[in-house]
């Protein structure tokens, strides 16, 4: 164990050892304080109540991206239900509107997902999160982006092809029509994909919050 130099009894300009930077203020060195090594005294000072603007910006950008994406995922089923209830006699028109909204939702998700992924990739270099803390959330974000891309560029175009092949109005096709059956199958798959994306998003929030609570920030290590 290396002995620390005791205080010299003078008022000095102190430097704290907090996670977010130095503490700079004069501290009188009383007899009680001078009975302790300086390193022990400074180690018990509170952390500074400020953060780097870049860290604040990146953390805010990450959470904002997730809020926009997950908020859209949560409210989309409500908007779809209201649309179908309002346009109940014309399910074709309601389906067209909901399909357009779903495409917009996917565009929002892809943009927000890329932003959140970039923030997590850059975070360790600017000491926002530790390298280990971002691995699992990044994997989940990649899975969410992949699911969104699959629904946007795989499921929706296939459903559109089935609708056109069925005559333009899927509800007008016979129940045993292969196009209508395939359309319904893809519709169910789309719902499962959206539910999975929402679940992965909630899990991402939990993991990042857990990293914070476990002092996963590099500056706190």
- The predicted pLDDT at position 37 comes to 52
- The predicted pLDDT at position 74 comes to 92
Q: Per the confidence metrics, is the pTM higher than 0.95?
A: no
Q: Which of 16, 25, 26 minimizes the C-alpha distance to 48?
A: 16
- The predicted pLDDT at position 18 comes to 45
Three-state secondary-structure class, residue 187:
helix
Give φ, ψ of 12 to 5 degrees: -130, 160
Cα torsion at 169, 173, 176, 181 (round to 10°)? -10
Residue 133 CA to residue 123 CA, distance in Å, equals 10
Give φ, ψ of 215 to 5 degrees: 55, 50
Residue 72 CA to residue 216 CA, distance in Å, equals 28
- The predicted pLDDT at position 146 comes to 97
- The predicted pLDDT at position 9 comes to 44
Mean pLDDT by 10 residues, the chain (221 residues): 46 44 46 48 45 83 95 90 82 84 95 95 84 91 97 94 86 87 93 95 92 55 45
Residues 136/207, Cβ–Cβ less than 8 Å: yes
Give me Rg for the CA atoms of the chain.
27
- The predicted pLDDT at position 10 comes to 46
Per DSSP (E only), the strands in the chain are 12-14, 25-27
- The predicted pLDDT at position 113 comes to 96
Residue 105 CA to residue 79 CA, distance in Å, equals 12
Three-state secondary-structure class, residue 35:
coil
Give φ, ψ of 219 to 5 degrees: -70, -15
Residue 120 CA to residue 114 CA, distance in Å, equals 10
């Amino acid at each position: 164990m290396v002995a620390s130099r005791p205080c010299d009894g003078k008022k000095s300009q102190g430097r704290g050892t907090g996670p977010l930077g130095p503490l700079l203020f004069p501290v009188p060195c009383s007899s009680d304080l001078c009975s302790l090594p300086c390193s022990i005294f400074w180690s018990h000072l509170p952390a500074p109540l400020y953060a780097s603007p870049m860290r604040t910006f990146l953390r805010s950008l990450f959470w904002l991206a997730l809020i926009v994406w997950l908020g859209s995922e949560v409210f989309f089923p409500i908007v779809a239900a209201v649309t179908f209830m309002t346009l109940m006699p014309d399910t074709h028109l309601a389906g067209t509107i909901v399909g357009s909204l779903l495409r917009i939702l996917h565009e929002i998700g892809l943009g927000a997902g890329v932003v959140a992924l970039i923030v997590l990739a850059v975070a360790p270099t600017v000491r926002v999160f530790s390298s280990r803390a971002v691995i699992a959330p990044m994997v989940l974000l990649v899975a969410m982006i992949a699911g969104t891309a699959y629904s946007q560029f795989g499921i929706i175009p296939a459903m559109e092809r089935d609708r056109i092949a069925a005559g333009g109005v899927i509800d007008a096709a016979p129940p045993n029509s292969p196009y209508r059956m395939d359309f319904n199958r893809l519709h169910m798959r789309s719902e499962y994909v959206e539910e999975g994306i929402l679940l992965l998003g909630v899990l991402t929030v939990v993991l990042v919050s857990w990293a914070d609570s476990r002092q996963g920030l590099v500056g706190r290590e």
